[in-house]
Amino acid sequence: MDDKFNKIPKEKFEFADGGDVYHDKSLSTKPVGYFRDAFNRFCKSKAAVVAAIIIALIVLFAIFAPLFNTRYDSSFMDPYYARKVPRNIALSKIGIADGTVSRESSEKGLIYNLSIGIGAEDGEGKGGVNSKDAMGGYYQPVKKIGDKKQSAGSAIYPIKLETYLEVGFIYRQIPQSQYAEIVEWQNSTGLRVLYPLVANNEYCPDTTEANYWYKMDSRLNPLRVNSSGKTSVISYNDNNFTLEDNYLRDEAGNPVYYQYAGGGSSAENAEYKVRVLYYNYYRYVNGFEPQYLFGTDSQGYDLALRLASGIKLSLMVALFVSVINLFIGAVYGAIEGYYGGKTDLIMERISDILSGMPFIVLATLFQLHFAAKVGVIPSLLFAFVLTGWIGTASTVRTQFYRFKNQEYVLAARTLGARDRRIIWKHIFPNSLGMIITSSALVIPGVIFNESMLSFLGIVNLGNSTTTSLGTLLSDASAIWTNFPHLMLFPAIVISLLMICFNLFGNGLRDAFNPGLRGSEG
């Protein structure tokens, strides 16, 4: 030992005065508050931080999606554009959310879809538009045609179809004044809305279908009619085929664009039957082209706004239930755990009776007997609160049994502290970690149960202004194989909420655990 000190040069040593006080700055610490310390330890959990960020993003989406969507509100619905896939004009330029789907079509179906684009190019009814000319048109729903395949002896064509354009033409009954407005709008914008009406004859198999504008037989085969009246079927294999129109024409041979449909004299408040290209009619009515970032639901609502509404409803119900359960469970469990004995025995039996009641049965009974009187959501909240606090109470009770005989509690009691002060000032803060975790984990449970009840139809939370995530899943359950986006987006949101709230709750448990206070882990 002496050899080691002998190696230190003498000039390194200094004489110190006995009254001097020295501090090593490397060992100095600053006082850290309880919540600051908890926040620091929470930030060290990467999973909890990521979960908190995802939850925040979902909440921001629910808040700001309706605010930034100036075109639609939550009550806007268009049944013609129901179950449509995502479409955004800006994103479609890079191949994202272009409103297209891949399908397999028969030859008749292919010609039918092509005919929409062909008919849209011939607004004046002159004819002569072939399939090649219309293929690159703006209103052509068929964007790509694959090689023909054979299936059960029939020709099948893989196609890429624009779902918003496949609506094609529809019949509308409008006032004469609106007819004049549409004509004026056409002239000012250069976009055609009104198209010739279809004649009701042997070449029209269905007078209610506005897309059957070309000559067809009863089996929906497109026909070519020669001067002698002999017909032949038009095939897709005919290069650059041309369909023969079946438009209603006047005595001079000009196409007819409207018919009187009643409602008053033809010169005043008459109702006109017209045939419109719905894509442009939508633009005329709303002032913009149809764009839905997440697509539309089964009824024609904007799915993004419906998701935002469902998220807000689910989170509001979950947070409300969590706060009430925390309050009731904390008080109930604290009394049980602190006093014990007969008090604990009686209160535990009450909890056992309530916990034996199946939640789904309670929720069903409340919906049947109370929903009509107090409303669907209040009766649902009551079903959640009736038994939801039991888990929190059990957690608090266990923690009180754990801490009530600790030395610091005995010291406080010896110094004359009252029971209320001992419960809330000495024992409860040490139980805070488990209580917060229990309350945070209530939220995903409530979201899951609310979604389950809505999915099963026990609770009906869907209307024109609001909906729930479970209702969206229920609406999509029968058609999701053909329209997977209806199931995909609500399922992703529910999954993220469930996973993230569990990770977030675990992070809070570690952060508020007093046993870890001041530790590095």
Q: What is the 3-state secondary structure (H, E, C) of 152-201?
A: CCEEEEEEEEECCCCCCEEEEEEEHHHHHHHHHHHHHHCCCCEECCECCC
Has residue 374 been placed in a domain? yes
Residues 109, 178: one domain? yes
Total-model pTM: 0.82
Within-domain flag for 79: no
Q: Clarify whether residues 373 and 397 are in a common domain.
A: yes
Host domain of residue 383: 51-62+301-516
**Domain-ending residue, one of 241, 263, 286:** 286
Q: Are residues 251 and 362 in the same domain?
A: no
In a domain, 94, yes or no: yes
Do 215 and 351 fall within a single domain? no
Please tell me whether residues 315 and 382 are part of one structural domain: yes
CATH code where residue 490 lies = 1.10.3720.10
Flag whether 335 is in a domain.
yes
Q: Which residue has the tokens 């024409």?
A: 249
Q: Are 253 and 306 within one domain?
A: no
Same domain, 277 and 377: no
Label residue 339 exposed, middle or buried (CB < 10 Å: 0-12, 13-18, 19+): middle
Does 368 share its domain with 487? Answer: yes
Note the pLDDT of residue 254.
93
Tell which residue, 439, 429, 359, has the closest CA to residue 394.
439
Q: How far apart are CA 136 and CA 154, in angstroms?
A: 27
Side chain identity, residue 122 = D
Asked if 277 and 230 sit in the same domain, the reply is yes
**Boundary residue ending a domain (263, 286, 309):** 286
Distance, first Cα to last Cα, the chain: 37
State residue 308's pLDDT score.
Answer: 92
Domain termination site, one of 253, 286, 319: 286
- pLDDT in single tens digits along all 521 residues of the chain: 555 556 667 666 666 665 665 555 555 556 666 677 777 888 888 999 999 999 999 999 999 988 888 787 778 899 999 999 999 988 988 888 999 999 999 999 999 999 999 999 988 888 888 888 888 889 999 999 988 888 777 889 999 999 999 999 999 999 988 999 999 999 999 999 999 999 999 999 999 999 999 999 999 999 988 878 898 999 888 778 889 999 999 988 899 999 988 877 655 678 899 999 999 999 999 999 999 999 999 899 999 999 999 999 989 998 999 889 888 988 898 888 888 889 989 999 999 998 888 888 888 888 888 888 888 888 888 888 888 888 888 888 888 888 888 888 888 888 888 888 888 888 877 777 677 777 787 888 888 888 888 888 888 877 777 788 888 998 888 888 888 999 999 999 999 999 998 888 888 877 776 555 545 44
Amino acid at 216: M
Cα–Cα distance between 166 and 241 in angstroms, integer? 20
| Torsion angles phi and psi, residue 275, rounded to 5 | -115, 120
Q: Is 240 exposed, middle or buried (0-12, 13-18, 19+ CB in 10 A)?
A: exposed
Predicted pLDDT of residue 128: 81
- On whether residue 197 sits in a domain, the answer given is yes
Which 8-state DSSP code applies to residue 350?
H
Q: Are residues 128 and 275 in the same domain?
A: yes
Q: Both 464 and 402 in a single domain? A: yes
Domain shared by 306 and 449, yes or no: yes
**Could you tell me if residue 8 is inside a domain?**
no
Separation between Cα atoms, residue 293 and residue 373, nearest integer Å: 38
The answer to whether residue 280 sits within a structural domain is yes
Residue 521 pLDDT: 45
Instruction: Check if the beta carbon of residue 392 is closer than 8 Å to that of residue 326.
Output: yes
> Per the domain annotation, does 40 fall within a domain?
no
User: Residue 308 contacts by C-beta under 8 Å, 6 or more apart in sequence?
Assistant: 61, 62, 63, 65, 66, 74
Taking Cα atoms as reference points, which of 113, 86, 90 lies closest to residue 101? 86
Q: How far is the C-alpha of 208 from the C-alpha of 396, rounded, in Å?
A: 68
- Give tens-digit pLDDT for 89-129: 889 888 889 999 999 999 999 999 999 999 999 888 888 88
| Nearest of 294, 81, 100, 272 to residue 168 by alpha carbon | 81
Helices 390-403, 428-456: axis angle to 10 degrees equals 160
Judge contact between 487 and 297, C-beta under 8 A. no
Picking from 196, 207, 204, the residue whose alpha carbon sits closest to that of residue 277 is: 196
The total number of structural domains that make up the chain = 2
The DSSP symbol for 16 reads -
The single-letter DSSP state of residue 86 is P
| pLDDT at site 3 | 58
pLDDT tens figures, 364-402: 888 888 888 888 888 888 888 888 888 888 888 888 888
